[in-house]
Amino acid sequence: GAGVSQSPSNKVTEKGKDVELRCDPISGHTALYWYRQSLGQGLEFLIYFQGNSAPDKSGLPSDRFSAERTGGSVSTLTIQRTQQEDSAVYLCASSLGAGNEQYFGPGTRLTVT
Amino acid sequence: GQQVMQIPQYQHVQEGEDFTTYCNSSTTLSNIQWYKQRPGGHPVFLIQLVKSGEVKKQKRLTFQFGEAKKNSSLHITATQTTDVGTYFCAEKISSGSARQLTFGSGTQLTVLP
């Protein structure tokens, strides 16, 4: 079956512009995670969705970052007024439930110029 | 809060040498997962350990979970160039965060031919 997909694969944007990153999780996976990974660094947790529960937003670095998950499936991560320090690979992962093994998408490489 | 210590941060080995990475937690874990991320790729699930003192093998990889369920190790015997990548542990604590999984900082393995 299809794995986790993300789009776009690459995004170059000018400082100050807004961007939207999309994640399509594996069908049936109730848990969805967003992470940020800078070059050569670890995984920085951003936000977590589990079913219909309120999302865990504790990792969002500022109020410029937001995410939503519609219908318990597709998720969109939005970054407003992008800054150069937002440049990174944004990874989405899904799992059957909280704490289960996570399946990662290929990521979106965001470059803010 | 939960601390996820993973050491070493970097490891360079000659092909054929062994390699070990360690994860240590300040709290008792429910389980621990290991992931591998190839250069330019995304993290891929390797294994999950649940029981105290558990040892699992995958070909040249040996995974251990400590008796106290506070630490874990991944050992690779006779490394090959295909082992290159970053190895992450992901810890699930027995109680607390709804997110439940916290990733370690990773160990970046370089195998010299």
Query: What is the band of A107 on the pLDDT scale with cuts at 50, 70, 90?
Result: very high
Query: What is the band of A76 on the pLDDT scale with cuts at 50, 70, 90?
Result: very high
The widest CA-to-CA distance across chain A, in whole angstroms, is 38
Task: Assess B48–A contact: CB distance below 8 Å, yes or no.
Answer: yes
Query: What is the band of A98 on the pLDDT scale with cuts at 50, 70, 90?
Result: confident
Please give the DSSP secondary-structure letter assigned to residue B50: -
In 3D space, the residue among A112, A111, A82, A113 whose CA is nearest the CA of residue A9 turns out to be A111
Is the separation of the CB atoms in B12 and B84 below 8 Å? no
Task: Assess A103–B contact: CB distance below 8 Å, yes or no.
Answer: yes
Query: What is the band of B100 on the pLDDT scale with cuts at 50, 70, 90?
Result: low
With CA atoms as reference, the chain B residue closest to A46 would be B99
Q: What is the mean pLDDT of residues B87-97?
A: 77
Q: What is the mean pLDDT of residues B29-48?
A: 94
Task: Assess B24–A contact: CB distance below 8 Å, yes or no.
Answer: no
Q: What is the mean pLDDT of residues B91-104?
A: 72
First to last CA, chain B: 41
Question: What is the least distance, in Å, from the CA of B100 to any CA of chain A?
Answer: 6
Task: Assess A34–B contact: CB distance below 8 Å, yes or no.
Answer: no
Contacts of B99 in chain A (CB under 8 A): 33, 45, 48, 56, 58, 98
What's residue B7's pLDDT? 95
What does each C-alpha distance from B71 to A9, A60, B49 come to in angstroms? 36, 28, 11
Digit-coded pLDDT (tens) for A16-57: 999 999 999 999 999 999 999 998 888 999 999 998 888 999
